[in-house]
Amino acid sequence: MAFQEKQVEADGFSIRYWEAGQGRPVVMLDRTGYRGTLLHDALAEQYRVICLELPGTGDSPANAVSKSVGDLAATIAKAADAITTERYTLIGTSFGAHVALWQAIQSPDQVEALILVSSTAIHPQEVPVGASAKDIHKLMFAHPENAEKQAPLPAEIFAKESELVGRLTSGDHDAEVEARLGDIHCPTLAVFGQEDRLVSHEAPRVYREKIPNCNIALVYDAGHCIVGDRPEALRNTVLDYAEHWETFIVGHQTGVINP
């Protein structure tokens, strides 16, 4: 599926985004922008997929403007609003999930369903002081061979993103967003890798306990970068939830061996 690169203006930022597919809109927030994963392609076969590059990440200029994660989420909400007037499914990954949480809280009329992948908002693990892009890259995968299949972020992008995330979160647990999880009333899925070394294993249950309509999905044998360790598992889980929301717990697959 070919994604087209476009731009949208919001809060003085010129924000790049990539778009493909038709149907109900799905907005994706990945810390490093569109990377052409199995998940993106599969979603684009059924939905109008809009992948927004968070200002201050990827190839975008450094972001010294946003004052908080909520502030950044407000910018993204404006950008999404400029692209589509329909309600959308919002999918955030890692820090993008942190932004997505704030967006769902601040813009409930826009977000129809929320999918958080490896969200770092609640109980992130402390990253070793002075860790390089390569060190963090290794930590993100359950298996070293999977880490080797993908290049670490270039040092300058890593430095820029680390500065932004560090300034907005200090790498800490977001107690304010936790206190407001009860305000999220749309169907919500929180997906985590069982071997995630960047988020505490305590985190998933917080979402389940505090968001009124929340399911947790734990992906076996996957680290923080689930799409790198178990891409098919992530694709199938997210696709199933995007279509069925909370009724994804009802079995939809056939067990017929021979008709």
Partner 1 sequence: MKASYFGQMGYSDRSTFPPTWPTPPGYTDSKTSVQSYQDGMEECEFAEEMSFDWISFSEHHYSGRIPTGTPSVMAAAVAERCKRVTIALLGHLLPLNNPVRIAEEVALLDNITNGRVVAGFLRGTPNEDQVYSVNPAEGRGRLLEGMDLILKALTEPQPFSWEGRYYQFRTVAVWPRPVQRPLPPVIVGTRSDDTIRYAAEHRLGLGVSFLPVEQTEVITDKYRAWCEEAGWTPGPDNIVYRGSIYVAETDELAREWFEGLQKTRPGPNIPLRRTVSEAIQSARAGTDFDLRGLVAGSPEGDVVGNSLGINFLGGPDTVAKQIKEFHDRCGVGVIDLPFQQNMVDHRGVLKELEVFGKNVIPQIREF
Residue ranges in contact with partner 1 by CB under 8 A? 185, 208-209, 212-213, 244-247, 249-259
Least distance from C-beta 3 to partner 1, angstroms? 26
Identify the three-state secondary structure at position 52. strand
Rounded to 5 degrees, what are φ and ψ at 25? Answer: -75, 145
Least distance from C-beta 223 to partner 1, angstroms? 25
Least distance from C-beta 259 to partner 1, angstroms? 7
What is d(CA 192, CA 200) in angstroms, rounded to the nearest whole number?
Answer: 10
Least distance from C-beta 255 to partner 1, angstroms? 5
Nearer to partner 1, 172 or 209 (CB): 209
Check: CB of residue 60 under 8 Å from CB of residue 53: yes
CA distances from 153 to 13, 150, 161, 164, 235 (A): 23, 9, 10, 15, 23
Tokens 């407000």 identify what position? 74
Nearer to partner 1, 170 or 254 (CB): 254
Nearer to partner 1, 61 or 212 (CB): 212
CA distances from 82 to 16, 105, 151, 161, 238 (A): 13, 19, 33, 25, 25
Which amino acid does the sequence have at 69? V
Least distance from C-beta 201 to partner 1, angstroms? 15
Nearer to partner 1, 12 or 251 (CB): 251
Angle between helices 155-169 and 95-106 (to 10 degrees): 40
Nearer to partner 1, 65 or 249 (CB): 249
Nearer to partner 1, 2 or 250 (CB): 250
Nearer to partner 1, 54 or 113 (CB): 113
What are the residue ranges of helices labelled H in 16-119?
38-44, 69-83, 95-106
Least distance from C-beta 202 to partner 1, angstroms? 12
Burial of residue 155 (CB within 10 Å: 0-12, 13-18, 19+) is exposed
Least distance from C-beta 107 to partner 1, angstroms? 17
Check: CB of residue 24 under 8 Å from CB of residue 47: yes
What tokens were used for 258? 């021979």
